[in-house]
């Protein structure tokens, strides 16, 4: 029997996304955003509230990067979520991390995170119920250390972080338990 838990955001897992953009002075800011998702083959949506430092920077620069946080960089990824760029001027510098300018969009790439999508701003969404930033993915870069022999990102090597809304924990992905578009094929035969 199921027990009522009330209204909670019961989607698991949530991604741990590192969203980076330059401000008007070319200063790097990074935030941790768990509420984001691919919304088409070449588009991503980030549910970031208006007025956040990253939101303001993306509005100014018209570009951003989205990196996948991994286990090796969990401490800094968490810091990017709990520290506000509106309140801490040296937020990025405190981590000792390194940024390089994307060669595809006007946004920083944080070198420590192994997979990054380079995005152009498409639009801001604002309705009575949703605020979001939609970006066009113009390129994805990955460290060779997380690639498989066929040049694709290997989740077992990536060890990407996920976030749980239930107990606010970070978890690592990587164990493959089945093959998509194949695991349910026996049911197709009925």
Give the separation between CA 67 and CA 16, rounded to whole angstroms: 9
Residue 134 belongs to a domain with what CATH number? Answer: 2.30.110.10
Contact indicator for 46, 58 with CB cutoff of 8 Å = no
pLDDT attached to residue 190:
80
Q: At residue 85, what are phi and psi to the nearest 5 degrees? A: -65, -20
- In this structure, is residue 113 part of a structural domain? yes
- In this structure, is residue 7 part of a structural domain? no
- Digits of tens for pLDDT over the chain (190 positions)? 999 999 998 999 999 999 999 999 999 999 999 999 999 999 999 999 888 999 999 999 999 999 999 999 999 999 999 999 889 999 999 999 999 999 999 999 999 999 999 999 999 999 999 999 999 999 999 999 999 999 999 999 999 999 999 999 999 998 888 999 999 999 888 8
- In this structure, is residue 87 part of a structural domain? yes
Residue 146: domain span = 14-188
Give the separation between CA 16 and CA 34, rounded to whole angstroms: 5
The continuous run of DSSP H or E covering 139 comes out as strand 131-142
- pTM for the full predicted model: 0.95
3-state helix vs strand vs coil in the chain, percent to 5: 20, 35, 45
- In this structure, is residue 5 part of a structural domain? no
- In this structure, is residue 97 part of a structural domain? yes
pLDDT attached to residue 189:
87
- In this structure, is residue 167 part of a structural domain? yes
- In this structure, is residue 1 part of a structural domain? no
Number of domains composing the chain: 1
* Residue count of the chain: 190
- In this structure, is residue 4 part of a structural domain? no
pLDDT attached to residue 93:
96
Contact indicator for 141, 90 with CB cutoff of 8 Å = no
């Amino acid at each position: 029997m199921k027990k009522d838990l009330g209204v909670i955001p019961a989607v698991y897992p949530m991604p741990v996304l590192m969203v980076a953009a330059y401000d008007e002075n070319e200063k790097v800011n990074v935030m941790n955003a768990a509420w984001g998702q691919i919304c088409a083959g070449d588009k991503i949506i980030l549910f970031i509230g208006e007025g956040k430092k990253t939101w303001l920077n993306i509005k100014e620069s018209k570009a951003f990067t989205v990196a996948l946080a991994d286990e090796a960089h969990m401490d800094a990824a968490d810091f990017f979520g709990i520290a506000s760029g509106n309140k801490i001027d040296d937020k990025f510098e405190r981590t000792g991390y390194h940024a390089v300018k994307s060669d595809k969009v006007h946004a920083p790439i944080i070198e420590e995170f192994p997979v990054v999508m380079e995005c152009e701003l498409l639009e801001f969404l604002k309705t009575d119920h949703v605020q979001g930033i939609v970006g066009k993915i113009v390129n994805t870069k990955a460290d060779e250390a997380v690639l498989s022999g066929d040049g694709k990102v290997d989740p077992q090597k990536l060890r990407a972080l996920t976030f749980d809304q239930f107990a606010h924990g970070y978890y690592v992905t990587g164990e493959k338990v089945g093959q998509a578009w194949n695991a349910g094929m026996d049911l197709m035969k009925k």
